[in-house]
Amino acid sequence: MLAQGIPTVILTAEQSEERRKQWFNSGIVDYVVQESGYSYECALSVLQHLDINRKYKILVVDDSSTSRKLICRALSPHEFKRICSH
């Protein structure tokens, strides 16, 4: 799904720090640890925020082009409209 640009939220029992880093480095939006019925509500909330985020534009300005690129890349999975200055 990530390869097609589909925002991805992982619902998992996995709690390994190493695995979490792998997921975020791959471009997932978020992950929710499946501990109870509340976990599904939490995952749904993340998905609802993605829909809301699409309505917002964020202007990213920084003296450092590296910082601008990192910030724009970090915002990308969250579906914000980004304006990244050059």
Q: Tell me the average pLDDT across 17-35.
A: 88
pLDDT band at 83 (very low <50, low <70, confident <90, very high): very high
Whether residues 30 and 64 share a domain: the answer is: no
Question: Minimal CA–CA distance to 78: which of 59, 60, 52?
Answer: 52
Token digits of residue 74: 């970090």
Residues of the chain above pLDDT 90, percent: 38
Domain encompassing residue 8: 1-53
CATH of the domain at 21: 3.40.50.2300
Whether residues 69 and 45 share a domain: the answer is: no
- Looking at the structure of the chain, the number of domains it has is 2
Whether residues 38 and 69 share a domain: the answer is: no
Average pLDDT over the chain reads 89
Q: Tell me the average pLDDT across 8-37.
A: 88
E-assigned strands of the chain? 9-12, 30-33, 57-60, 81-84
